[in-house]
Amino acid sequence: MKNKKRWPRVLTLALLAAQLIAVLLLLPILIRELNWLVIVVPAIVALLLIGDYMKSRTTYILTFIWSILLLIHAVALIIMQLHYAYIMYLAFAAFFLFAVSQSSLR
């Protein structure tokens, strides 16, 4: 039973590590685009929210969705170097703000 509870946390840590690697790979593009803070700051806050996962399942799920969307966006930036990324950032920010508000309500 303990092992089943451990997997979501391990999976989240792996996803956040992949997110950090993607951000590091994207640094030249992000610095040129001047929107790197929009990725780095929420990634840091997501790491701070790890302690709340055991208390709030909603926070875990929403931050997990946030990480997946961020990785998809990172891949899209690497492959296509899209310039309409601000719409995607707004969607990411909405998910993230909802996750933070859910964790602060508990």
**What are the pLDDT digits (tens) for 26-44?**
666 656 655 555 555 566 6
Number of domains in the chain: 1
Q: Which domain holds residue 19?
A: 2-105
pTM above 0.75, yes or no: no
Instruction: Write the pLDDT tens digit of every residue in 43-85.
Output: 666 655 555 555 566 656 666 666 666 666 666 666 666 555 5
Question: For the chain, what's the residue count?
Answer: 106
- For residues 22-54, one letter each, b for 16 or more C-beta atoms within 10 angstroms of the residue's C-beta and e for the rest, the string is bbeebeeebeebeebebbeebbeebeebeebbe
Gap between the Cα atoms of 11 and 22, Å rounded: 16
